[in-house]
Amino acid sequence: MAAGTKIRTLARLLDASDTPLWVIGPAGNLVYLSAGVGTWLGIDAEQLLDRRSVAGSAISDDPLDYVAASMSPPPGFFGRGTASLTIQPPPLGGRKITPLEVRFVRVGQADTALTVAVGGGFRDVGSSSELRDAVAVRQRLDWWRKRHAGIATIATAGVSPAARRLRARLHVAGCTRTHIAFFGPEGSGAESIASRIHQLSAAGEPIVTVNGPLMDAELLDATVVPLINQLASSADARATALVHDLDQMPVEAGQRLAELLTTFAGRLRLLATCGLRPKILSEPFADEGEEGPMADPDAGAGIIPALLEFVAGFTVSIEPLSSRVEDIPLLAAAMVDARRAAGEGTAERLSRAALDSLVIYPWPKNFVELDEAIRHAIRAAPGEAIGVEHLPLAVRSFHVGEKTIFTKTPKLSLDEALKRLELRMIEDALQQTDGNRAEAARQLGISRARLLRRLDENGDNGASDSRDS
Amino acid sequence: MIVNRQPPLVGIEESKAWIWLICGHDQRWPSAVRRFVPDLIPQHDSVEVRVCDPTDTPGVLIKQSRAIVLWQIEPENLGQWCERIAKTSLAHPGVLQLAATSELAELSPLEQSAISELGVSAILRHIEQLPKLANMIRAYFVVS
Protein backbone atom coordinates (compact mmCIF):
# COMPACT_ATOMS: atom_id res chain seq x y z
CA MET A 1 0.00 0.00 0.00
CA ALA A 2 1.44 3.35 -1.04
CA ALA A 3 2.08 5.85 1.73
CA GLY A 4 1.65 9.61 1.45
CA THR A 5 4.26 12.13 2.39
CA LYS A 6 4.69 13.28 5.97
CA ILE A 7 2.01 15.65 7.20
CA ARG A 8 4.40 17.69 9.32
CA THR A 9 5.19 20.30 6.62
CA LEU A 10 1.52 20.86 5.88
CA ALA A 11 0.70 21.12 9.59
CA ARG A 12 3.41 23.75 9.99
CA LEU A 13 2.03 25.77 7.08
CA LEU A 14 -1.53 25.51 8.34
CA ASP A 15 -0.50 26.65 11.81
CA ALA A 16 1.35 29.59 10.29
CA SER A 17 -1.73 30.62 8.30
CA ASP A 18 -4.45 32.68 9.94
CA THR A 19 -7.14 31.04 7.79
CA PRO A 20 -9.56 28.99 9.87
CA LEU A 21 -9.51 25.36 8.73
CA TRP A 22 -10.94 22.33 10.43
CA VAL A 23 -11.52 18.67 9.66
CA ILE A 24 -14.51 16.62 10.70
CA GLY A 25 -13.94 12.88 10.98
CA PRO A 26 -16.20 10.11 9.62
CA ALA A 27 -17.99 9.88 12.99
CA GLY A 28 -18.88 13.58 12.91
CA ASN A 29 -16.27 14.65 15.48
CA LEU A 30 -13.78 17.47 15.02
CA VAL A 31 -10.41 15.83 14.44
CA TYR A 32 -8.29 18.84 13.48
CA LEU A 33 -8.55 22.61 13.99
CA SER A 34 -5.97 25.07 12.72
CA ALA A 35 -4.62 27.93 14.79
CA GLY A 36 -6.82 30.26 12.69
CA VAL A 37 -9.92 28.65 14.19
CA GLY A 38 -8.72 29.58 17.67
CA THR A 39 -8.05 33.16 16.52
CA TRP A 40 -11.48 33.42 14.88
CA LEU A 41 -13.37 32.04 17.89
CA GLY A 42 -11.13 33.66 20.50
CA ILE A 43 -10.54 30.38 22.36
CA ASP A 44 -7.96 27.62 22.45
CA ALA A 45 -8.91 25.47 19.45
CA GLU A 46 -7.85 22.38 21.42
CA GLN A 47 -11.02 22.75 23.50
CA LEU A 48 -13.15 21.85 20.46
CA LEU A 49 -11.24 18.71 19.56
CA ASP A 50 -13.38 15.54 19.55
CA ARG A 51 -16.64 17.46 20.01
CA ARG A 52 -19.56 16.49 17.76
CA SER A 53 -19.90 18.69 14.69
CA VAL A 54 -23.31 17.61 13.41
CA ALA A 55 -26.13 20.13 12.89
CA GLY A 56 -28.38 20.19 15.94
CA SER A 57 -26.11 17.89 17.97
CA ALA A 58 -25.48 20.29 20.86
CA ILE A 59 -27.59 18.35 23.31
CA SER A 60 -25.62 19.46 26.38
CA ASP A 61 -25.67 23.02 27.71
CA ASP A 62 -21.94 23.44 27.11
CA PRO A 63 -21.55 26.51 24.84
CA LEU A 64 -18.57 24.83 23.13
CA ASP A 65 -20.87 21.99 22.03
CA TYR A 66 -23.11 24.60 20.41
CA VAL A 67 -20.07 26.09 18.66
CA ALA A 68 -18.92 22.69 17.41
CA ALA A 69 -22.43 21.90 16.10
CA SER A 70 -22.57 25.23 14.28
CA MET A 71 -19.36 24.31 12.40
CA SER A 72 -21.03 21.36 10.61
CA PRO A 73 -21.63 21.25 6.84
CA PRO A 74 -25.03 22.21 5.37
CA PRO A 75 -27.71 19.82 4.09
CA GLY A 76 -26.91 18.27 0.72
CA PHE A 77 -23.18 18.35 1.31
CA PHE A 78 -22.55 14.62 1.40
CA GLY A 79 -24.40 14.10 -1.86
CA ARG A 80 -22.53 16.83 -3.73
CA GLY A 81 -19.17 16.61 -2.02
CA THR A 82 -18.84 20.36 -1.68
CA ALA A 83 -20.89 23.23 -0.29
CA SER A 84 -20.59 26.71 1.12
CA LEU A 85 -22.20 28.06 4.27
CA THR A 86 -21.90 31.11 6.45
CA ILE A 87 -21.03 29.77 9.88
CA GLN A 88 -22.59 31.75 12.73
CA PRO A 89 -21.36 30.36 16.06
CA PRO A 90 -23.33 31.37 19.18
CA PRO A 91 -21.69 33.90 21.52
CA LEU A 92 -18.98 32.58 23.82
CA GLY A 93 -18.81 34.16 27.27
CA GLY A 94 -21.03 37.00 26.11
CA ARG A 95 -18.65 37.80 23.22
CA LYS A 96 -20.11 37.81 19.72
CA ILE A 97 -18.25 35.87 17.05
CA THR A 98 -18.02 37.19 13.51
CA PRO A 99 -19.84 34.98 10.97
CA LEU A 100 -17.46 33.23 8.58
CA GLU A 101 -18.00 32.12 4.99
CA VAL A 102 -16.81 28.51 4.78
CA ARG A 103 -16.30 26.05 1.93
CA PHE A 104 -16.75 22.38 2.85
CA VAL A 105 -15.10 19.64 0.80
CA ARG A 106 -15.64 15.93 1.21
CA VAL A 107 -12.54 13.74 1.15
CA GLY A 108 -13.25 10.05 0.55
CA GLN A 109 -16.45 8.09 0.27
CA ALA A 110 -19.24 6.76 2.47
CA ASP A 111 -18.27 5.72 6.00
CA THR A 112 -14.66 6.82 5.75
CA ALA A 113 -15.30 10.30 4.35
CA LEU A 114 -13.58 13.25 5.99
CA THR A 115 -14.96 16.77 5.76
CA VAL A 116 -12.48 19.59 5.31
CA ALA A 117 -13.79 23.08 6.04
CA VAL A 118 -11.89 26.18 4.95
CA GLY A 119 -12.83 29.73 5.85
CA GLY A 120 -12.81 32.37 3.14
CA GLY A 121 -14.91 33.80 0.32
CA PHE A 122 -16.19 31.17 -2.11
CA ARG A 123 -18.99 31.06 -4.58
CA ASP A 124 -21.17 28.01 -5.12
CA VAL A 125 -22.63 27.55 -8.57
CA GLY A 126 -24.95 24.97 -9.98
CA SER A 127 -26.66 23.81 -6.79
CA SER A 128 -30.34 23.03 -7.17
CA SER A 129 -33.09 25.31 -5.98
CA GLU A 130 -34.18 22.69 -3.43
CA LEU A 131 -30.71 22.49 -1.92
CA ARG A 132 -30.43 26.27 -1.81
CA ASP A 133 -33.69 26.30 0.12
CA ALA A 134 -32.33 23.68 2.53
CA VAL A 135 -29.21 25.77 3.05
CA ALA A 136 -31.35 28.87 3.66
CA VAL A 137 -33.35 26.96 6.29
CA ARG A 138 -30.12 25.85 7.94
CA GLN A 139 -28.92 29.48 8.02
CA ARG A 140 -32.15 30.56 9.70
CA LEU A 141 -31.89 27.72 12.20
CA ASP A 142 -28.32 28.66 13.04
CA TRP A 143 -29.44 32.24 13.56
CA TRP A 144 -32.21 31.03 15.87
CA ARG A 145 -29.81 28.82 17.84
CA LYS A 146 -27.33 31.68 18.11
CA ARG A 147 -29.87 34.20 19.31
CA HIS A 148 -32.05 32.00 21.47
CA ALA A 149 -29.75 29.25 22.70
CA GLY A 150 -31.03 29.69 26.27
CA ILE A 151 -34.65 28.92 25.42
CA ALA A 152 -33.97 26.70 22.46
CA THR A 153 -36.97 24.44 22.79
CA ILE A 154 -37.90 23.61 19.22
CA ALA A 155 -41.38 25.12 19.54
CA THR A 156 -39.81 28.58 19.66
CA ALA A 157 -38.17 28.26 16.23
CA GLY A 158 -39.79 30.24 13.46
CA VAL A 159 -40.27 33.59 11.85
CA SER A 160 -43.99 34.07 12.37
CA PRO A 161 -45.32 36.78 14.73
CA ALA A 162 -46.55 33.99 17.05
CA ALA A 163 -43.04 32.50 17.26
CA ARG A 164 -41.52 35.92 17.93
CA ARG A 165 -44.08 36.62 20.67
CA LEU A 166 -43.41 33.25 22.26
CA ARG A 167 -39.65 33.81 22.29
CA ALA A 168 -40.04 37.27 23.81
CA ARG A 169 -42.30 35.94 26.60
CA LEU A 170 -39.99 33.03 27.35
CA HIS A 171 -36.95 35.30 27.56
CA VAL A 172 -38.75 37.31 30.25
CA ALA A 173 -40.07 34.17 31.95
CA GLY A 174 -36.57 32.74 32.10
CA CYS A 175 -35.33 35.79 33.99
CA THR A 176 -38.13 35.94 36.54
CA ARG A 177 -39.06 33.64 39.39
CA THR A 178 -42.80 34.10 39.50
CA HIS A 179 -46.02 32.16 38.98
CA ILE A 180 -46.44 31.42 35.28
CA ALA A 181 -49.31 29.89 33.34
CA PHE A 182 -48.68 28.35 29.92
CA PHE A 183 -51.76 28.34 27.71
CA GLY A 184 -51.64 26.06 24.72
CA PRO A 185 -53.60 23.38 22.89
CA GLU A 186 -53.01 19.66 23.26
CA GLY A 187 -49.54 18.69 22.06
CA SER A 188 -48.15 22.22 22.26
CA GLY A 189 -45.13 21.07 24.26
CA ALA A 190 -46.05 23.36 27.15
CA GLU A 191 -44.73 20.85 29.69
CA SER A 192 -41.21 20.77 28.28
CA ILE A 193 -41.18 24.56 27.89
CA ALA A 194 -42.28 24.95 31.52
CA SER A 195 -39.50 22.61 32.67
CA ARG A 196 -36.96 24.59 30.65
CA ILE A 197 -38.18 27.86 32.14
CA HIS A 198 -37.85 26.36 35.62
CA GLN A 199 -34.22 25.44 34.89
CA LEU A 200 -33.52 28.96 33.64
CA SER A 201 -35.31 30.95 36.30
CA ALA A 202 -34.76 28.82 39.39
CA ALA A 203 -32.01 26.30 38.66
CA GLY A 204 -31.53 23.84 41.50
CA GLU A 205 -34.83 24.65 43.16
CA PRO A 206 -36.83 21.52 44.06
CA ILE A 207 -39.79 20.89 41.79
CA VAL A 208 -42.72 18.51 42.00
CA THR A 209 -44.86 17.62 39.02
CA VAL A 210 -48.59 17.43 39.67
CA ASN A 211 -51.04 15.84 37.26
CA GLY A 212 -53.99 18.21 37.69
CA PRO A 213 -56.93 16.11 36.47
CA LEU A 214 -56.04 13.18 38.76
CA MET A 215 -55.87 15.21 41.95
CA ASP A 216 -58.13 15.61 44.93
CA ALA A 217 -57.18 17.57 48.04
CA GLU A 218 -55.65 14.56 49.85
CA LEU A 219 -53.75 13.30 46.83
CA LEU A 220 -52.42 16.79 46.19
CA ASP A 221 -51.13 16.96 49.76
CA ALA A 222 -49.48 13.58 49.36
CA THR A 223 -47.87 14.64 46.07
CA VAL A 224 -46.43 17.92 47.27
CA VAL A 225 -45.50 16.76 50.77
CA PRO A 226 -41.73 16.75 50.02
CA LEU A 227 -41.99 20.41 49.04
CA ILE A 228 -44.14 21.29 52.03
CA ASN A 229 -41.68 19.64 54.40
CA GLN A 230 -38.81 21.65 52.94
CA LEU A 231 -40.76 24.91 53.02
CA ALA A 232 -41.87 24.27 56.61
CA SER A 233 -38.38 23.35 57.81
CA SER A 234 -36.70 26.54 56.63
CA ALA A 235 -37.96 30.06 56.13
CA ASP A 236 -35.51 30.51 53.27
CA ALA A 237 -36.50 27.38 51.39
CA ARG A 238 -38.14 27.75 47.98
CA ALA A 239 -39.90 25.26 45.78
CA THR A 240 -41.90 24.98 42.58
CA ALA A 241 -45.01 23.00 41.75
CA LEU A 242 -45.43 22.22 38.05
CA VAL A 243 -49.13 21.48 37.57
CA HIS A 244 -50.18 19.90 34.28
CA ASP A 245 -53.68 20.73 33.02
CA LEU A 246 -54.54 23.10 35.82
CA ASP A 247 -57.86 23.86 34.14
CA GLN A 248 -58.81 20.19 34.44
CA MET A 249 -58.04 20.07 38.14
CA PRO A 250 -61.07 19.33 40.37
CA VAL A 251 -62.32 22.29 42.40
CA GLU A 252 -61.40 20.96 45.82
CA ALA A 253 -57.83 20.21 44.70
CA GLY A 254 -57.65 23.69 43.19
CA GLN A 255 -58.79 25.24 46.46
CA ARG A 256 -56.17 23.26 48.37
CA LEU A 257 -53.49 24.38 45.92
CA ALA A 258 -54.56 28.01 46.38
CA GLU A 259 -54.31 27.56 50.17
CA LEU A 260 -50.77 26.20 49.87
CA LEU A 261 -49.73 29.04 47.55
CA THR A 262 -51.15 31.56 50.01
CA THR A 263 -49.54 29.88 53.04
CA PHE A 264 -46.12 29.80 51.39
CA ALA A 265 -46.51 33.05 49.47
CA GLY A 266 -43.35 34.07 47.65
CA ARG A 267 -41.67 30.75 48.36
CA LEU A 268 -43.90 28.19 46.68
CA ARG A 269 -44.08 28.95 42.99
CA LEU A 270 -46.70 27.67 40.57
CA LEU A 271 -45.91 26.75 36.98
CA ALA A 272 -49.13 25.61 35.35
CA THR A 273 -50.10 24.35 31.92
CA CYS A 274 -53.66 24.94 30.70
CA GLY A 275 -55.68 24.59 27.54
CA LEU A 276 -55.74 27.44 25.05
CA ARG A 277 -59.02 28.81 26.37
CA PRO A 278 -59.51 27.40 29.87
CA LYS A 279 -62.86 27.40 31.61
CA ILE A 280 -63.06 29.88 34.45
CA LEU A 281 -65.34 28.80 37.29
CA SER A 282 -67.34 31.36 39.22
CA GLU A 283 -67.76 31.54 42.99
CA PRO A 284 -69.21 30.49 45.32
CA PHE A 285 -68.76 26.73 45.19
CA ALA A 286 -69.66 25.69 48.73
CA ASP A 287 -73.06 27.42 48.80
CA GLU A 288 -74.30 26.08 45.50
CA GLY A 289 -75.38 22.75 46.95
CA GLU A 290 -76.32 20.19 44.38
CA GLU A 291 -76.41 22.80 41.63
CA GLY A 292 -72.77 23.80 42.06
CA PRO A 293 -69.71 22.52 40.26
CA MET A 294 -68.73 20.39 43.26
CA ALA A 295 -71.79 18.24 42.66
CA ASP A 296 -71.61 18.19 38.87
CA PRO A 297 -68.71 16.11 37.63
CA ASP A 298 -68.81 17.80 34.23
CA ALA A 299 -68.69 21.27 35.73
CA GLY A 300 -66.20 20.33 38.46
CA ALA A 301 -63.07 21.18 36.46
CA GLY A 302 -61.76 24.60 35.62
CA ILE A 303 -59.70 27.39 37.07
CA ILE A 304 -61.22 28.70 40.27
CA PRO A 305 -61.02 32.42 41.08
CA ALA A 306 -58.69 31.75 44.01
CA LEU A 307 -56.12 30.36 41.56
CA LEU A 308 -56.72 33.00 38.92
CA GLU A 309 -54.71 35.60 40.83
CA PHE A 310 -51.73 33.25 40.69
CA VAL A 311 -51.97 32.22 37.04
CA ALA A 312 -53.05 35.56 35.60
CA GLY A 313 -49.92 37.42 36.66
CA PHE A 314 -47.61 36.11 33.96
CA THR A 315 -49.00 34.12 31.09
CA VAL A 316 -47.38 32.53 28.05
CA SER A 317 -49.59 31.61 25.09
CA ILE A 318 -48.44 28.88 22.75
CA GLU A 319 -50.30 29.14 19.48
CA PRO A 320 -51.45 25.97 17.72
CA LEU A 321 -49.24 24.78 14.90
CA SER A 322 -52.02 25.37 12.38
CA SER A 323 -51.71 29.10 12.98
CA ARG A 324 -47.93 29.00 12.46
CA VAL A 325 -47.89 27.50 8.99
CA GLU A 326 -44.92 29.56 7.81
CA ASP A 327 -42.83 28.11 10.67
CA ILE A 328 -43.43 24.48 9.75
CA PRO A 329 -40.41 24.09 7.41
CA LEU A 330 -38.10 25.54 10.05
CA LEU A 331 -39.60 23.50 12.90
CA ALA A 332 -39.42 20.32 10.82
CA ALA A 333 -35.79 21.02 9.86
CA ALA A 334 -34.88 21.59 13.52
CA MET A 335 -36.51 18.29 14.44
CA VAL A 336 -34.67 16.48 11.62
CA ASP A 337 -31.37 17.95 12.85
CA ALA A 338 -32.06 16.85 16.41
CA ARG A 339 -33.09 13.31 15.41
CA ARG A 340 -30.13 12.94 13.06
CA ALA A 341 -27.74 14.18 15.73
CA ALA A 342 -29.20 11.60 18.11
CA GLY A 343 -28.32 8.92 15.57
CA GLU A 344 -31.88 8.00 14.61
CA GLY A 345 -31.28 8.26 10.87
CA THR A 346 -29.15 9.61 8.08
CA ALA A 347 -31.54 12.11 6.46
CA GLU A 348 -30.44 15.70 6.82
CA ARG A 349 -33.22 17.58 5.04
CA LEU A 350 -36.78 17.35 3.76
CA SER A 351 -37.61 17.35 0.07
CA ARG A 352 -39.88 20.15 -1.13
CA ALA A 353 -42.72 17.71 -1.76
CA ALA A 354 -42.44 16.41 1.81
CA LEU A 355 -42.44 19.96 3.13
CA ASP A 356 -45.57 20.71 1.09
CA SER A 357 -47.30 17.72 2.68
CA LEU A 358 -46.30 18.92 6.15
CA VAL A 359 -47.58 22.43 5.40
CA ILE A 360 -50.93 21.20 4.05
CA TYR A 361 -51.61 18.84 6.98
CA PRO A 362 -53.65 20.56 9.75
CA TRP A 363 -51.73 19.11 12.76
CA PRO A 364 -54.57 18.63 15.24
CA LYS A 365 -52.08 17.41 17.85
CA ASN A 366 -49.60 20.19 17.18
CA PHE A 367 -45.85 20.00 17.86
CA VAL A 368 -45.97 16.54 19.43
CA GLU A 369 -47.59 15.14 16.28
CA LEU A 370 -45.08 16.91 14.04
CA ASP A 371 -42.22 15.52 16.11
CA GLU A 372 -43.67 12.01 15.85
CA ALA A 373 -44.05 12.41 12.08
CA ILE A 374 -40.41 13.48 11.74
CA ARG A 375 -39.27 10.59 13.94
CA HIS A 376 -41.16 8.18 11.71
CA ALA A 377 -39.83 9.80 8.53
CA ILE A 378 -36.16 9.92 9.49
CA ARG A 379 -36.23 6.25 10.41
CA ALA A 380 -37.90 5.37 7.12
CA ALA A 381 -35.68 7.53 4.89
CA PRO A 382 -32.57 5.68 3.67
CA GLY A 383 -30.86 8.63 1.95
CA GLU A 384 -30.04 12.20 2.77
CA ALA A 385 -33.50 13.60 1.98
CA ILE A 386 -36.88 12.74 3.45
CA GLY A 387 -39.48 12.31 0.72
CA VAL A 388 -43.27 12.23 0.86
CA GLU A 389 -43.19 8.43 0.86
CA HIS A 390 -41.33 8.45 4.18
CA LEU A 391 -43.95 10.48 6.04
CA PRO A 392 -46.63 8.74 8.15
CA LEU A 393 -49.67 7.58 6.19
CA ALA A 394 -51.98 10.09 7.89
CA VAL A 395 -49.80 13.00 6.74
CA ARG A 396 -48.99 11.90 3.21
CA SER A 397 -52.54 10.79 2.45
CA PHE A 398 -54.17 13.98 3.73
CA HIS A 399 -56.14 15.73 1.00
CA VAL A 400 -58.24 18.83 1.26
CA GLY A 401 -60.75 17.35 -1.17
CA GLU A 402 -62.34 18.83 -4.25
CA LYS A 403 -64.67 21.17 -2.40
CA THR A 404 -65.12 24.36 -4.41
CA ILE A 405 -67.32 26.65 -2.30
CA PHE A 406 -65.86 27.90 0.97
CA THR A 407 -67.87 29.94 3.46
CA LYS A 408 -66.57 31.29 6.70
CA THR A 409 -69.45 31.33 9.15
CA PRO A 410 -69.21 31.38 12.92
CA LYS A 411 -71.35 28.98 14.93
CA LEU A 412 -74.66 30.65 15.70
CA SER A 413 -77.43 29.44 18.02
CA LEU A 414 -81.04 29.32 16.78
CA ASP A 415 -82.07 31.95 19.34
CA GLU A 416 -79.30 34.29 18.23
CA ALA A 417 -80.18 33.79 14.56
CA LEU A 418 -83.88 34.48 15.19
CA LYS A 419 -83.05 37.54 17.26
CA ARG A 420 -80.87 38.91 14.51
CA LEU A 421 -83.43 38.18 11.83
CA GLU A 422 -86.09 39.96 13.89
CA LEU A 423 -83.83 42.96 14.31
CA ARG A 424 -82.99 42.99 10.63
CA MET A 425 -86.72 43.08 9.74
CA ILE A 426 -87.26 45.92 12.20
CA GLU A 427 -84.36 47.85 10.63
CA ASP A 428 -85.83 47.38 7.16
CA ALA A 429 -89.29 48.46 8.33
CA LEU A 430 -87.84 51.56 9.98
CA GLN A 431 -86.01 52.46 6.81
CA GLN A 432 -89.18 52.05 4.75
CA THR A 433 -91.17 54.24 7.15
CA ASP A 434 -88.44 56.85 7.36
CA GLY A 435 -87.85 56.09 11.05
CA ASN A 436 -91.49 56.15 12.15
CA ARG A 437 -91.59 53.46 14.83
CA ALA A 438 -95.32 53.30 15.26
CA GLU A 439 -95.81 52.81 11.52
CA ALA A 440 -92.96 50.27 11.42
CA ALA A 441 -94.62 48.31 14.25
CA ARG A 442 -97.94 48.35 12.33
CA GLN A 443 -96.24 47.08 9.18
CA LEU A 444 -94.62 44.25 11.10
CA GLY A 445 -97.83 43.37 12.95
CA ILE A 446 -96.35 43.84 16.40
CA SER A 447 -96.95 46.29 19.19
CA ARG A 448 -94.93 49.46 19.36
CA ALA A 449 -93.78 48.45 22.85
CA ARG A 450 -92.36 45.21 21.48
CA LEU A 451 -90.53 47.05 18.72
CA LEU A 452 -89.06 49.49 21.26
CA ARG A 453 -88.10 46.61 23.53
CA ARG A 454 -86.19 44.91 20.71
CA LEU A 455 -84.39 48.15 19.86
CA ASP A 456 -83.61 48.67 23.54
CA GLU A 457 -82.09 45.20 23.75
CA ASN A 458 -79.88 46.05 20.82
CA GLY A 459 -78.92 49.42 22.32
CA ASP A 460 -80.36 51.33 19.35
CA ASN A 461 -83.04 53.31 21.11
CA GLY A 462 -80.92 56.26 22.11
CA ALA A 463 -82.14 58.74 19.55
CA SER A 464 -85.68 60.03 19.96
CA ASP A 465 -87.84 60.14 16.93
CA SER A 466 -90.17 63.07 16.55
CA ARG A 467 -92.32 61.20 14.04
CA ASP A 468 -93.03 58.43 16.54
CA SER A 469 -96.80 58.54 16.67
CA MET B 1 -81.39 55.43 12.71
CA ILE B 2 -79.82 52.04 13.15
CA VAL B 3 -76.23 51.70 12.07
CA ASN B 4 -73.71 48.84 12.18
CA ARG B 5 -75.70 46.31 10.28
CA GLN B 6 -75.01 42.76 11.32
CA PRO B 7 -73.42 40.35 8.84
CA PRO B 8 -75.86 38.35 6.69
CA LEU B 9 -77.47 35.22 8.08
CA VAL B 10 -76.45 32.24 6.01
CA GLY B 11 -79.44 30.53 4.48
CA ILE B 12 -81.74 33.47 5.29
CA GLU B 13 -80.02 36.45 3.78
CA GLU B 14 -77.75 36.95 0.84
CA SER B 15 -74.00 36.83 1.25
CA LYS B 16 -71.32 37.70 -1.29
CA ALA B 17 -69.72 34.92 -3.29
CA TRP B 18 -66.34 35.51 -4.92
CA ILE B 19 -64.34 33.57 -7.42
CA TRP B 20 -60.76 32.43 -6.89
CA LEU B 21 -59.32 31.20 -10.16
CA ILE B 22 -56.22 29.03 -10.23
CA CYS B 23 -54.74 29.01 -13.71
CA GLY B 24 -52.27 26.26 -14.47
CA HIS B 25 -51.81 22.53 -14.59
CA ASP B 26 -50.03 21.77 -11.33
CA GLN B 27 -52.05 20.38 -8.40
CA ARG B 28 -49.79 21.97 -5.81
CA TRP B 29 -51.44 25.36 -5.61
CA PRO B 30 -55.09 24.26 -5.89
CA SER B 31 -54.54 22.03 -2.84
CA ALA B 32 -52.89 24.88 -0.95
CA VAL B 33 -55.63 27.38 -1.82
CA ARG B 34 -58.37 24.95 -0.75
CA ARG B 35 -56.52 24.27 2.49
CA PHE B 36 -55.97 27.88 3.48
CA VAL B 37 -58.83 29.78 1.86
CA PRO B 38 -61.16 29.51 4.91
CA ASP B 39 -58.53 31.47 6.89
CA LEU B 40 -58.10 34.07 4.17
CA ILE B 41 -61.64 35.29 3.60
CA PRO B 42 -63.73 37.60 5.80
CA GLN B 43 -66.48 36.06 7.87
CA HIS B 44 -69.79 35.55 6.09
CA ASP B 45 -68.28 35.74 2.60
CA SER B 46 -68.11 32.77 0.27
CA VAL B 47 -65.40 31.93 -2.21
CA GLU B 48 -65.67 29.55 -5.12
CA VAL B 49 -62.31 28.02 -5.99
CA ARG B 50 -62.04 27.07 -9.67
CA VAL B 51 -59.12 25.52 -11.50
CA CYS B 52 -58.93 26.38 -15.18
CA ASP B 53 -56.64 26.40 -18.15
CA PRO B 54 -54.86 29.76 -18.51
CA THR B 55 -56.36 30.19 -21.98
CA ASP B 56 -59.89 29.97 -20.53
CA THR B 57 -59.34 32.72 -17.98
CA PRO B 58 -60.72 35.66 -20.03
CA GLY B 59 -63.98 33.78 -20.59
CA VAL B 60 -64.40 32.97 -16.91
CA LEU B 61 -63.68 36.55 -15.88
CA ILE B 62 -66.15 38.14 -18.31
CA LYS B 63 -68.92 38.60 -15.76
CA GLN B 64 -66.63 39.12 -12.76
CA SER B 65 -65.61 42.62 -11.84
CA ARG B 66 -63.89 41.36 -8.70
CA ALA B 67 -62.05 38.06 -8.40
CA ILE B 68 -58.69 36.61 -7.44
CA VAL B 69 -56.56 35.00 -10.12
CA LEU B 70 -53.56 32.92 -9.16
CA TRP B 71 -51.28 32.23 -12.12
CA GLN B 72 -49.09 29.15 -11.83
CA ILE B 73 -46.19 30.55 -13.77
CA GLU B 74 -43.68 28.41 -15.64
CA PRO B 75 -40.47 30.40 -16.12
CA GLU B 76 -39.71 28.74 -19.46
CA ASN B 77 -42.79 30.40 -21.02
CA LEU B 78 -42.59 33.64 -19.13
CA GLY B 79 -43.44 35.75 -22.17
CA GLN B 80 -46.84 34.08 -22.59
CA TRP B 81 -47.60 34.46 -18.89
CA CYS B 82 -46.66 38.13 -18.95
CA GLU B 83 -49.02 38.63 -21.88
CA ARG B 84 -51.89 36.97 -19.99
CA ILE B 85 -51.20 39.04 -16.88
CA ALA B 86 -51.06 42.28 -18.87
CA LYS B 87 -54.28 41.50 -20.74
CA THR B 88 -56.08 40.69 -17.49
CA SER B 89 -54.85 43.93 -15.91
CA LEU B 90 -56.22 45.92 -18.81
CA ALA B 91 -59.52 44.09 -19.22
CA HIS B 92 -60.28 43.52 -15.52
CA PRO B 93 -58.49 46.16 -13.46
CA GLY B 94 -60.45 45.16 -10.34
CA VAL B 95 -59.11 41.60 -10.33
CA LEU B 96 -56.46 40.75 -7.75
CA GLN B 97 -53.66 38.86 -9.50
CA LEU B 98 -51.19 36.60 -7.72
CA ALA B 99 -48.31 34.70 -9.28
CA ALA B 100 -46.99 31.38 -8.04
CA THR B 101 -44.16 29.28 -9.33
CA SER B 102 -44.07 25.52 -9.59
CA GLU B 103 -42.35 23.36 -6.99
CA LEU B 104 -38.73 23.98 -7.87
CA ALA B 105 -38.84 26.79 -10.37
CA GLU B 106 -37.49 30.12 -9.36
CA LEU B 107 -37.93 33.53 -10.94
CA SER B 108 -34.99 35.88 -11.10
CA PRO B 109 -35.37 39.31 -9.44
CA LEU B 110 -35.62 40.86 -12.91
CA GLU B 111 -38.44 38.51 -13.91
CA GLN B 112 -40.21 39.15 -10.63
CA SER B 113 -40.10 42.90 -11.10
CA ALA B 114 -41.35 42.49 -14.68
CA ILE B 115 -44.50 40.61 -13.68
CA SER B 116 -45.04 42.94 -10.73
CA GLU B 117 -45.01 45.88 -13.14
CA LEU B 118 -47.70 44.18 -15.19
CA GLY B 119 -50.13 44.05 -12.29
CA VAL B 120 -49.34 41.07 -10.07
CA SER B 121 -49.81 41.97 -6.40
CA ALA B 122 -47.78 39.14 -4.86
CA ILE B 123 -45.38 36.47 -6.05
CA LEU B 124 -45.35 33.20 -4.17
CA ARG B 125 -42.84 30.39 -4.31
CA HIS B 126 -43.81 28.13 -1.43
CA ILE B 127 -47.28 27.24 -0.24
CA GLU B 128 -46.53 28.25 3.34
CA GLN B 129 -46.35 31.84 2.07
CA LEU B 130 -50.07 31.84 1.23
CA PRO B 131 -51.38 32.51 4.79
CA LYS B 132 -49.13 35.58 4.94
CA LEU B 133 -51.37 37.20 2.32
CA ALA B 134 -54.39 37.00 4.65
CA ASN B 135 -54.47 40.72 5.41
CA MET B 136 -54.20 41.74 1.77
CA ILE B 137 -56.85 39.29 0.61
CA ARG B 138 -59.27 40.15 3.43
CA ALA B 139 -58.84 43.83 2.69
CA TYR B 140 -59.53 43.16 -0.99
CA PHE B 141 -62.74 41.30 -0.16
CA VAL B 142 -63.88 43.94 2.32
CA VAL B 143 -63.26 46.86 -0.05
CA SER B 144 -65.00 44.98 -2.83
Measure the CA–CA gap between A301 and A180, rounded to whole angstroms: 20
Query: B44 and A355: CB-CB below 8 Å?
Result: no
pTM above 0.80? no
- CB contacts of B17 in chain A (<8 Å) are 405
Residues A158, A160, A164, A167, Cα dihedral to 10°? -40
- For B22, how many CA atoms within 13 A lie in the half-sphere containing its CB? 20
Measure the CA–CA gap between A422 and A469, rounded to whole angstroms: 22
Residues A379 and A345: beta-carbon distance below 8 Å: yes
ipTM of predicted assembly, 2 dp? 0.84
A410 lies within 8 A of chain B by CB = yes
pLDDT at B128: 92
* C-alpha distances in Å from residue A427, one per residue of A351, A456, A460: 57, 13, 10
Of B44, B130, B131, the CB nearest to A408: B44
Nearest-CA distance B83 → chain A (Å): 26
- CB contacts of A410 in chain B (<8 Å) are 43
Task: Write out chain A's pLDDT in tens, 469 residues.
Answer: 567 788 888 888 888 888 899 999 988 889 999 888 988 988 888 889 888 888 776 556 788 888 888 899 988 887 888 888 888 888 887 788 888 889 999 988 878 889 999 988 766 555 677 888 888 888 888 888 877 766 767 888 888 999 999 999 998 988 888 999 999 988 888 888 898 889 888 888 899 899 988 888 888 888 888 888 888 888 888 999 999 998 888 888 888 899 999 999 889 999 999 988 777 777 655 444 444 444 444 455 678 888 888 888 888 999 999 889 999 999 999 999 889 888 898 898 999 899 999 999 999 999 999 999 999 999 999 988 899 999 999 999 988 776 666 666 666 678 877 888 888 888 888 888 888 888 888 888 888 888 888 888 877 654 444 445 4
Which string of DSSP letters, residue by residue, matches B60-89?
HHTT-SS-EEEEEE-GGGHHHHHHHHHHHH
Query: B6 and A423: CB-CB below 8 Å?
Result: yes
Of A270, A367, A262, A377, the C-alpha closest to A321 is A367
Residues B121 and B139: beta-carbon distance below 8 Å: no
